[in-house]
Amino acid sequence: MTDKTDITSLFPKELEAFIASLGEGKFRAKQISEWIVRGAQFHEMTNLSKALREKLSERCMVVPIRISESIQSKIDGTEKYLYELSDGNLIEGVRMRYHHGDTLCVSTQVGCRMGCAFCASTLDGCVRNLTAGEMLSQVIQVNRHIRETEGEGRIHNVVLMGSGEPLDNYDEVVRFLRLLNEPQGLNISLRNVSLSTCGIVPQMKRLAKEGLPVTLSVSLHAPNDAIRRKLMPISNAYGMGELLDACRYYIENTGRRVIFEYAMVRDVNSDFSCADELAKRLRGMQCHVNLIPLNDVKERNLLSTTEKEIQAFQRRLEDKHVSVTRRREMGDDIQGACGQLRRSRLNQTD
């Protein structure tokens, strides 16, 4: 990264102060913030003087990431992006089209250090945290890409389910959420945002008190500690009892139900005894279970279950009054899953 100030990371008041330090007034700050939301580079900010544009590009940065590749699925229009950061690192994102608007899956770290057995993002560990500006820029640049390729449209919903563990980069993620919600900025309602975590209990409790109405998704993937430990190293630090208590605490403090992600892994977490145990543990909780077919990751020897098995598991949970859906697979033809595109590009350059 450079030592230039990334002005996409600034709140309106901070931008005003920064612009004032360059000897310019509030009006200029407002003009600049309108350009930032549109994803413009300094040379495109045509209502600013050339001298100011030059001064800005010497002192600061405005597009900390750029889309270096985009691939659209022929099946469902899902679009995958490879972004390049200003230091050359690569991250990725996916846009999914739903009837309630376009959703962007945002990355929070380059790589991840959580070590989940089934996840491609974690295979090389965590390279670094993303800044709030780099997260915001993913949304801004995709909006720009949509306008340029489709004429209109924008991202309505955001899910923090790209590479990285959001709660392992807590301060920047919370800053990003507030920036996303900024009326002068993208103005995205936090009710349209989901944050997914592998279950870092103390940070979940902290998030419950931030006053941010985001939906918390918890990657559970198991009905008990013994199975969860086979898949997710974080469960050695925080057991399921503590994790579910933190979920209850989140529900109490925010009034919002928690979503549990459950990827079906053959011979590991997919038989009826798992469904029964899960139903028992979640009884009485304001929650919803999302069943996900595992995306096979070549490097790991974990396999997905059949469609029939998923449906049977779903019915078993429904019979026990658990609210449950099966997540639609999207972008199957474009390596839609976590970390897969970045890995295939990194391997090409190896």
Closer to ligand SAH by CB, 18 or 260: give it: 260
Residues 273-302 that bind ligand SAH (CB under 6 A): 292, 294-295, 297
Nearest distance from residue 260's CB to ligand SAH, in Å? 9
Q: In sequence order, what are the beta bridge partners of 264?
A: 293
Q: Exposure of 66 by Cβ count < 10 A (0-12 exposed, 13-18 middle, 19+ buried)? A: middle
263 binds ligand SAH (CB under 6 A): yes
Closer to ligand SAH by CB, 197 or 203: give it: 197
Identify whether 92 is a catalytic site residue: yes
Closer to ligand SAH by CB, 8 or 304: give it: 304
Nearest distance from residue 220's CB to ligand SAH, in Å? 8
Closer to ligand SAH by CB, 222 or 279: give it: 222
Cβ-based neighbours of 165, under 8 Å, separated by 6 or more: 108, 109, 112, 113, 114, 197, 198, 200
**DSSP E strands, the chain:** 5-6, 60-61, 65-72, 79-85, 90-98, 101-105, 109-111, 126-129, 155-160, 193-197, 215-219, 258-264, 287-293, 324-326
169 binds ligand SAH (CB under 6 A): no
Nearest distance from residue 239's CB to ligand SAH, in Å? 17
Residue with tokens 């994102």: 93
Closer to ligand SAH by CB, 5 or 203: give it: 203
Task: Among 35, 81, 118, 170, indicate the residue that binds ligand SAH (CB under 6 A).
Answer: 118
Q: Quick one: DSSP state of residue 306? A: P
Cβ-based neighbours of 190, under 8 Å, separated by 6 or more: 177, 180, 181, 212, 213, 214
Contact criterion met (CB below 8 Å) for 80 and 138: no
197 binds ligand SAH (CB under 6 A): yes
Closer to ligand SAH by CB, 142 or 263: give it: 263
C-alpha to C-alpha distance for 246 and 100, rounded to whole angstroms: 29
Closer to ligand SAH by CB, 48 or 116: give it: 116
Task: Among 181, 215, 219, 305, indicate the residue that binds ligand SAH (CB under 6 A).
Answer: 219
C-alpha to C-alpha distance for 147 and 145, rounded to whole angstroms: 5
* Of the candidates 77, 110, 109, the residue with the CA atom closest to the CA atom of residue 94: 77
- Name the catalytic one among 24, 92, 165, 172: 92
Residue with tokens 């959580």: 114
Q: In sequence order, what are the beta bridge partners of 215?
A: 194
Residues 319-338 that bind ligand SAH (CB under 6 A): 337-338
Task: Among 16, 92, 172, 261, indicate the residue that binds ligand SAH (CB under 6 A).
Answer: 261
32 binds ligand SAH (CB under 6 A): no
C-alpha to C-alpha distance for 42 and 141, rounded to whole angstroms: 15
269 binds ligand SAH (CB under 6 A): no
203 binds ligand SAH (CB under 6 A): no
* Of the candidates 55, 105, 95, the residue with the CA atom closest to the CA atom of residue 73: 95
Task: Among 96, 165, 200, 215, indicate the residue that binds ligand SAH (CB under 6 A).
Answer: 165
92 binds ligand SAH (CB under 6 A): no
* Of the candidates 193, 196, 191, the residue with the CA atom closest to the CA atom of residue 217: 196
Contact criterion met (CB below 8 Å) for 235 and 229: yes
Q: Quick one: DSSP state of residue 204? A: H
Identify whether 338 is a catalytic site residue: yes
Nearest distance from residue 14's CB to ligand SAH, in Å? 28
Which residues in this chain contact ligand SAH in the complex, by CB under 6 A? 116, 118-119, 161, 165, 196-198, 219, 261, 263, 292, 294-295, 297, 337-338
Looking at the annotation, which residues are catalytic?
92, 338
